[in-house]
Amino acid sequence: MRTTAYTVQVNLDKAAAKQGPRARQQVAAIEKVLGTHTLPVQVWLDAQGRVRKVSANVPIPNTGSPASSRPAGTFTVSEEFYDFGTPVTTQPPPRSQTTDITQQIITKVKNGTG
């Protein structure tokens, strides 16, 4: 499949502004931990303009002593999309089997244990 790659800067503040108050608070907390309001993202589009792949390099905050403004490293999050048009039936798991781990991740990153 032929695709065209684009590199963009995602403005987390603008993305959060389109969400509810809780999501905006979570994004603000993540921005504080990451030390950035933008993330570089690569997006691959096919000939029909469909997103086929998204890849983001996320900074790992430097929590050493003394803490530096330079990240300790990065990790890459990638997603690929395919089988467009295939019928899908799904059921979300019961609420009792899910949890929001955003705060846990933020705490671990702040403490340098994640």
Residues 6+ apart with CB under 8 A from 26: 102
- In tens digits, the chain (114 residues) has pLDDT values of 899 999 999 999 998 898 899 888 888 888 887 778 888 899 999 999 999 999 998 877 766 655 556 667 778 899 999 999 999 999 999 999 998 887 777 776 666 555
Cβ atoms of 24 and 97 within 8 Å: the answer is no
Q: Please state the domain count of the chain.
A: 1
Q: Please check whether residue 87 lies inside any domain of the structure.
A: no
For residue 100, the model assigns a pLDDT of 85
CA of residue 34 relative to chain centroid, distance:
11
Q: Please check whether residue 90 lies inside any domain of the structure.
A: no
Residue 39 belongs to domain spanning? 4-82+95-111
Q: Please check whether residue 66 lies inside any domain of the structure.
A: yes
Q: Please check whether residue 15 lies inside any domain of the structure.
A: yes
pTM of structure: 0.63
Instruction: Report pLDDT digits (tens) over 75-94.
Output: 889 999 999 999 999 999 99
Q: Please check whether residue 42 lies inside any domain of the structure.
A: yes
CB crowding 25-60: b at 16 or more within 10 Å, else e: ebbebbbebbebbebebebbebeeeeebbebbebbe
Q: Please check whether residue 89 lies inside any domain of the structure.
A: no
